[in-house]
Amino acid sequence: MKLGDLGEFGLIDSIRARVGAAPGVYRGIGDDAAELEIPAGHRLLTSTDLLLEEVHFRFAWTSAYDLGRKAVAVNLSDVAAMGGLPRFVYVGLACPADAEVAQLDAFVTGVLDEAAEHGVILVGGDTCRSPGPWVISVTVEGTAPAGTAVGRDGAHPGDLVLVSGTLGDSALALDLWQQGKTPDPWLATRHNRPLPRIALGRELALAGLATAMIDLSDGVASDLEHILQASKAGAEILSSALPLSPAFRTQLERRPELFDLALGGGEDYELLCTVPAARAEEALSAGTRTGVPLTIIGTVMERGAGFRLRDAAGGVRPLRVRGYDHFCR
Amino acid sequence: MKLGDLGEFGLIDSIRARVGAAPGVYRGIGDDAAELEIPAGHRLLTSTDLLLEEVHFRFAWTSAYDLGRKAVAVNLSDVAAMGGLPRFVYVGLACPADAEVAQLDAFVTGVLDEAAEHGVILVGGDTCRSPGPWVISVTVEGTAPAGTAVGRDGAHPGDLVLVSGTLGDSALALDLWQQGKTPDPWLATRHNRPLPRIALGRELALAGLATAMIDLSDGVASDLEHILQASKAGAEILSSALPLSPAFRTQLERRPELFDLALGGGEDYELLCTVPAARAEEALSAGTRTGVPLTIIGTVMERGAGFRLRDAAGGVRPLRVRGYDHFCR
């Protein structure tokens, strides 16, 4: 069956039937706006993303189910990077009228599974026809107790720079696809099923450990620069300290140029944070406790020191990458 | 200058510089998520829309400035239809890298002007390259005191059906453009610059006058059916009662078939509500007080009565339009 046979209202009705009642949701799908409760003493944290076929994803590499999960996950990751608890999600979808209903169903199932896994409720969205590519917009609303959310502007000279998980896996999978190769399943999963680090982000925020935090969408080089600009600081990163997966190391041995992906590859969706040196031990424990290892990769410095990379031989080079710019080629 | 020369970060920086600090906004543009305060005792009302070039708008008919205003206005209208006060807006924009920066600036100015006119703050969004059409996603967050928001499900038999402003003007403008004609400026403005009925919606909600409310995006026939379905009710509409503008009447005299646009034309963004008969006078006064006249156009009935239109000669025909369906042609 094609989407054109089911229709917009048929699609909305079928999605609505799959979402149950939930605490804090007075009105969800099916009214002009969702009506929601924010716990007293908490602030609202909202993030929104726009994803386009051929720009952000290709069905040759990412299934409709994984796309649904990933579209939600990357927004949950933004709330995680503030130290917040994601609660509500909205999905806008434009796709061709000749899209298969089975593909739509897989996408919706991915959205609902990812939301459910993190206790998040689908409460609204929008659907329309696209003349060409699939277009997905996702908005996530979360909360954090007043005064606990962590921005990008609090890094101080002397703080240590920590990152969760491993770097470059997602970009390596993409690199292999772009070369016509097939990444091994673990690498492909790192690209298609990012894991929002919600529990870790909350621990770092609620305990006041992180002075600044961001999630890695464009790579350490670019995303740490966002923190340094907002915090008016510099930093030194140790190339030998970057956490790399066994799968990444195997490829790196054959192709040393892949190291750039660990620094500047996109879509890791790991947390990058700065922590006062005296509290680094506590932060590392939080990583252990939440099952998401943190690694110290460098130090925040005075702004005058710039942003630089120190290699294993002691050589230093400036990092001036501004990451992926959608409009500059 | 082309957008590709300015770049994504240049664009974001330039927008950020135009948005000042505001009460309730702890973090706005430039962090992973916005951090916002919701007043105690209020609930959050959130609406989101996806707009695609060629599907929802054409630059031949709508300027970039008007597009910015309209993209925000139609979401403000959703919050107005709940009786809420819109507070925060997020805009996602995908456009070709060869878009003119002047066109982008006009769009952003439209967004900021529409937001400012209604006391709403731009607190986030997303930008990326589009391989083809412009794509715009807008999310609006508003608030209403707990227990005052008006949904679609509260209409009771005996309630009167009221609508604000005039019907069909926007659809008539579109009809004329599609025929290669130029609508007069007033009609064109009705299409390109919808007025979110925020003050009226709040009055109707806070005074407990409206039992159900919706904003007209697909026309009375379709949007009242949404209320009737949610409320498990029927209704009778009087064709001679539909409020029509002088510009619409002039065209209608020449082309009687245009009457369908008053009933089923899209994008009026007027408020359609149901009000207990005993309180209709109060509702009409609220319209006068807020400068947005309300007109009684029919009555809510038992479900068994169906949804029907009574014409001036007393003839009755069923209304079974389900409005514009994006996927069905």
Predicted confidence (pLDDT) at residue B325 exceeds the cutoff of 80: no
Predicted confidence (pLDDT) at residue B306 exceeds the cutoff of 80: yes
Pick the residue from chain A with its C-alpha nearest to B229.
A30
Q: Give the span between the Cα atoms of A329 and B7, in whole angstroms.
A: 9
Q: Once rounded to an integer, what is the mean pLDDT over residues A7-36?
A: 90
Pairing verdict, β B25-27 and A271-275:
unpaired
- Residues B128, B172, single domain; the answer is no
Pick the residue from chain B with its C-alpha nearest to A129.
B326
Q: Which of B3, B36, B44 to mutate to test the interface with A (most CBs of A within 10 A)?
A: B44
Among residues A78, A47, A48, A49, the alpha carbon closest in space to that of A213 is found at A78
Domain that holds residue B103: 3-145
The answer to which of A2-11, A269-278, B242-251 has the lowest mean pLDDT is A2-11
- Looking at residue A329, its pLDDT comes to 47
- Residues A216, A114, single domain; the answer is no
Pick the residue from chain A with its C-alpha nearest to B139.
A139
Among residues B125, B292, B260, B281, the alpha carbon closest in space to that of B196 is found at B292
- Residues B167, B311, single domain; the answer is yes
Percentage of chain A beyond pLDDT 70 is 97
> Which amino acid, one-letter code, is at B52?
L
Domain presence at residue A293:
yes
The answer to which of A22-31, A52-61, A265-274, B7-16 has the lowest mean pLDDT is B7-16
- Looking at residue B14, its pLDDT comes to 86
Does A262 or B324 have the greater pLDDT score? Answer: A262
Give me the number of domains chain B comprises: 2
Domain presence at residue B324:
no
> Which amino acid, one-letter code, is at A26?
Y
Q: Chain B within 8 Å of A58 (Cβ-Cβ)? A: no
Q: Chain B within 8 Å of A32 (Cβ-Cβ)? A: yes
- Looking at residue B13, its pLDDT comes to 86
Pick the residue from chain A with its C-alpha nearest to B29.
A47
DSSP secondary structure of A228-295: HHHHT-EEEEEGGGS---HHHHHHHHH-GGGHHHHHH-S----EEEEE-GGGHHHHHHHHHHHT--EE
Other CB atoms within 10 A of residue B41 CB: 10
Q: Give the span between the Cα atoms of B181 and A303, in whole angstroms.
A: 60
Boundary residue ending a domain (A81, A115, A145): A145
Other CB atoms within 10 A of residue A59 CB: 13
The answer to ipTM > 0.90 is: yes
Contacts of B213 in chain A (CB under 8 A): 32
In chain B, positions 171-230, which contact chain A (CB-CB < 8 Å)?
Answer: 213-215, 230
DSSP secondary structure of B89-144: EEEEEEE-TTSBHHHHHHHHHHHHHHHHHTT-EEEEEEEEE-SSS-EEEEEEEEEE
Contacts of B83 in chain A (CB under 8 A): none
Predicted confidence (pLDDT) at residue B40 exceeds the cutoff of 50: yes
| pLDDT tens string A273-296 | 999 999 999 999 999 999 999 999
Boundary residue ending a domain (A112, A145, A178): A145
Domain presence at residue B181:
yes
For A204, list phi and psi in degrees, rounded to 5.
Answer: -65, -35
Domain presence at residue B327:
no
Which CATH number characterizes residue A289's domain? 3.90.650.10
Boundary residue ending a domain (A101, A119, A145): A145
Domain presence at residue A307:
yes
Partner-chain contact B44 A36, CB within 8 Å: yes
Domain presence at residue B325:
no
Q: Chain B within 8 Å of A321 (Cβ-Cβ)? A: no
- Residues B118, B191, single domain; the answer is no
- Residues A24, A120, single domain; the answer is yes
In chain B, positions 62-91, which contact chain A (CB-CB < 8 Å)?
Answer: 78-79, 81-82, 84, 88, 90
Predicted confidence (pLDDT) at residue B317 exceeds the cutoff of 70: yes
Partner-chain contact A90 B141, CB within 8 Å: no
Partner-chain contact B38 A38, CB within 8 Å: yes
Q: Chain A within 8 Å of B92 (Cβ-Cβ)? A: yes
Q: Once rounded to an integer, what is the mean pLDDT over residues B155-172?
A: 98
Domain presence at residue A289:
yes
- Residues A124, A268, single domain; the answer is no
Which CATH number characterizes residue A61's domain? 3.30.1330.10
Query: pLDDT band at B8, cuts 50/70/90?
Result: confident
Pick the residue from chain A with its C-alpha nearest to B35.
A45
Q: Chain B within 8 Å of A149 (Cβ-Cβ)? A: yes
For B325, list phi and psi in degrees, rounded to 5.
Answer: -110, 120
- Residues B181, B278, single domain; the answer is yes
B75 to A32, A61, B106, B116, B139: CA distances (angstroms): 9, 34, 19, 14, 7
Pick the residue from chain A with its C-alpha nearest to B272.
A32
Domain presence at residue A111:
yes
In chain A, positions 113-132, which contact chain B (CB-CB < 8 Å)?
Answer: 123-132
Contacts of A142 in chain B (CB under 8 A): 33
E strands along A96-245, which residues? 121-129, 135-145, 160-164, 212-215, 234-238
- Looking at residue A324, its pLDDT comes to 62
- The first and second tokens of residue B172, run together, are 């008539």
Partner-chain contact B137 A92, CB within 8 Å: yes
Predicted confidence (pLDDT) at residue B131 exceeds the cutoff of 80: yes
- Residues B172, B135, single domain; the answer is no
- Residues B200, B280, single domain; the answer is yes
Counting beta carbons within 10 angstroms of the beta carbon of residue B240, is it exposed (0 to 12), middle (13 to 18) or buried (19 or more)? exposed
Query: pLDDT band at B323, cuts 50/70/90?
Result: low
Contacts of B151 in chain A (CB under 8 A): 27, 31, 35
- Residues B299, B187, single domain; the answer is yes
Q: To the nearest 10°, the Cα dihedral for A166, A167, A169, A175?
A: -170
- Residues A121, A173, single domain; the answer is no
- The first and second tokens of residue B87, run together, are 């507070």
- Residues B23, B128, single domain; the answer is yes
